[in-house]
């Protein structure tokens, strides 16, 4: 697999676990094997090396550095507000013009007047009215409730008399 003999593999596992307190078998192997001794020294050196720290003030200056790298932005134009104002003015002008044009072209109001000569005289009206107080096509029973009691009784008697005649 890795090409290392099994005593070296066991010693490396012990070095990874705790490089300062090795078991006696691993200690004896590290004393005999120069590759494992070098691996132990490297492992100890990696543990002692401090992590890379950011220089003082690095994070304080970070937003400024990022903003300097960004492209400059143009100031926002107020076009939408200007367009809305122009549209509102146009609508107001058209509405006012339409209203005034409508008032200017308005026809005078025609008032109804009664000409007494055109009204027919009472003698010109038909002398006889139909017997039933109903209009053509109306069913009598639908208008029965609009009649007075005497008219309703007279209508029912008349209908009975017509029904009994062959």
Domain extents for the chain? 6-48
Query: What pLDDT digit, counting tens, does each position of 4-44 carry?
Result: 788 888 898 998 888 888 899 999 999 999 999 999 988 88
pTM passes above 0.75: no
Per-residue model confidence as pLDDT tens digits over 87-127: 999 999 999 998 888 776 676 666 667 776 766 666 665 65
Instruction: Answer yes or no: are the C-beta atoms of 17 and 42 closer than 8 Å.
Output: no
pLDDT at residue 96, as a whole number: 92
């Amino acid at each position: 697999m890795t090409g290392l003999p099994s005593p070296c593999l066991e010693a490396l596992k012990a070095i990874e676990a705790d490089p300062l307190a090795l078991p006696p078998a691993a200690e004896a192997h590290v004393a005999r094997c120069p590759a494992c001794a070098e691996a132990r020294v490297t492992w100890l050196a990696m543990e002692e090396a401090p992590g890379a720290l950011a220089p003082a003030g690095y994070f304080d200056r970070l937003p400024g550095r990022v903003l300097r790298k960004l492209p400059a932005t143009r100031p926002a134009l107020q076009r939408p507000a200007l367009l809305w104002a122009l549209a509102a003015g146009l609508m107001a002008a058209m509405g006012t013009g339409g209203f005034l044009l409508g008032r200017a072209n308005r026809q005078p109001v025609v008032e109804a007047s009664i000409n007494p000569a055109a009204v027919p005289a009472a003698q010109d009206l038909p002398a006889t009215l139909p017997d039933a107080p109903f209009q053509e096509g109306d069913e009598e029973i639908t208008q029965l409730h609009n009649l007075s009691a005497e008219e309703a009784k007279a209508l029912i008697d008349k209908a009975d008399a017509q029904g009994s005649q062959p």
